[in-house]
Amino acid sequence: MSKSKRNSGLRFQPAGGNRTPQVPVGKKQRLTLERLSGDGRGIAFVEGRTWFVSGALAGEEVEARVLSAHGKVVEARLERVFSASPLRRAAPCAHFARCGGCNLQHVPHTEQLALKQRLLAEQLQRVAGVVPEHWALPLSGPEFGYRRRARVAVRWDARAKHLDVGFRAEASQDIVAIDECPVLVEALQPIMRQLPALLRGLRKPQVVGHVELFSGTALALLLRHTGPLAEGDLQYLQAFCSEAGVQLWLQGDGKPTAVDQTQALGFVLEPWNLELAYRPGDFVQVNAQVNTAMIEQALAWLAPQNDERVLDLFCGLGNFALPLAQQAREVVAVEGVQTMVERAEDNARSNNLHNVRFFQADLSLPLAGVEWASEGFSAVLLDPPRDGAFEVVSKISDLGAKRLVYVSCNPATLARDTQALLRQGYRLKCAGILDMFPQTAHVEAMALFEAG
């Protein structure tokens, strides 16, 4: 074959068209923001690309720095404001410009609530084609000092022989050094301030994986370590925790374990005089005040009667199941993780509640054929993870429930599951947001469905 023939092969031909060069990370761009996205970022359109700019507001002219770019989508972070929105406020936290934890501190709290309400309404309308018969007022508490649990990032820099302690930067694995966080509850603030010096004082700080802080019936510090603690480090940590009045928990290869196993840890649901035991690593709502308001609203909407059998799906430690058991004849509570089922059972016994039964089941599958569902239910409450509960709700009318309360941490999957409920003849009676995470764009919601 001649050289000219070989060169005419398809593999030597251009792909066709002109490939648009990618926007380099770190590039600065002047932008005018047209509107806000569902997660609170400003949106701008430049040369066929859509820019999402965290920290920017609709109507502003800004300079943004590129964090990443994929195809026609560019993600960026605000660098300068040339023309500010009248809604803009100074962020209360000094770390706002870099920390990835709170992305709406530049927005007044009332506008944060309005943004979340709009997002929920748009998802329900766009995906399910429905508007609730009634909108509930947002459930909200203090916009700062609300977070009773925090995970603190820790990383050993071998070259600098330095331990970084703080929270992850936005869109990065970098750690922003933080010793004070305004969204933490006041009880955790002193521990947070002392934590960097505490960890850097370890003889072998490089084995620290991360730290979790919790405030409930007691204060607790969990240290996750990736290798054995150095000699003397355990005593050093115990001395600090003893003086600070904090329980010390450790986690190596196994489960979190309290150093002093005689100590109890949990949280209280005051309106119902309930105390639920908790272990680091268990799921618990981080906002105690909104959690209480959420349970109160769920009970009011579900209105369980003392002759009714009620189903609680994704029950966790019993956050809803135990208050429900105080009102209903019987509660059946279901969770996917067996250890959580066992802890929920312990919580029911310790609170002298004997009309609630707990079961383990894979809730990513339909409920058909399970023994505990055979008798049916008057009402159902479900609080699924972000993936929602499509398989469960797709045939939930088979259980005979006339009322269903759906607690959601993802409006998109709530809207998708709403479609399935509407097809079964349920009506969306009421919906509203739960402001579980002020200063962030995270949206939680509650919806009430009624049969017929």
Q: Are residues 115 and 40 in contact, defined by beta-carbon separation less than 8 angstroms? A: yes
CA distance 190 to 445: 32
Instruction: Break the chain into its structural domains and give their ranges.
Output: 23-88, 112-142+287-451, 149-258
**Which residue has tokens 């770190």?**
26
Task: Give the type of residue at 5.
Answer: K
Task: Give the type of residue at 6.
Answer: R
Q: Give the CATH architecture of domain 149-258.
A: Beta Barrel (2.40)
| Residues identified as active-site | 409
CB atoms within 10 A of CB 386: 9
pTM of the model: 0.92
CA distance 69 to 57: 20
Sign of the four-CA dihedral 50, 54, 60, 64: negative
Query: Which residue in 385, 348, 346 sits closest to 363, CA to CA?
Result: 385
Per-residue pLDDT of the chain (452 residues; tens, 9 = 90+): 444 444 444 444 444 555 667 899 999 999 999 999 988 899 999 999 999 999 999 999 999 999 999 999 999 999 999 999 999 999 999 999 888 889 999 999 999 999 999 999 999 999 999 999 999 999 999 999 999 999 999 999 999 999 999 999 887 788 999 878 999 999 999 999 999 999 999 999 999 999 999 999 999 999 999 999 999 999 999 999 999 999 999 999 999 999 999 999 999 999 999 999 999 989 999 999 999 999 999 999 999 999 999 999 999 999 999 999 999 999 999 999 999 999 999 999 999 999 999 999 999 988 878 889 888 999 999 999 999 999 999 999 999 999 999 999 999 999 999 999 999 999 999 999 999 999 999 999 999 999 98
CA distance 166 to 93: 14
Intrachain domains 23-88 and 149-258 with the same fold: yes
Q: Give the CATH architecture of domain 23-88.
A: Beta Barrel (2.40)
CA distance 394 to 296: 27
Please, which residues have CB within 8 angstroms of residue 217's CB and are 6 or more apart in sequence? Answer: 264, 265, 266, 267, 268, 275
Q: Is 262 exposed, middle or buried (0-12, 13-18, 19+ CB in 10 A)?
A: exposed
Residue 418, φ and ψ in degrees, nearest 5:
-60, -40
Q: Are residues 370 and 361 in contact, defined by beta-carbon separation less than 8 angstroms? A: yes
Topology of domain 112-142+287-451, per CATH?
Rossmann fold (3.40.50)
CB atoms within 10 A of CB 307: 9
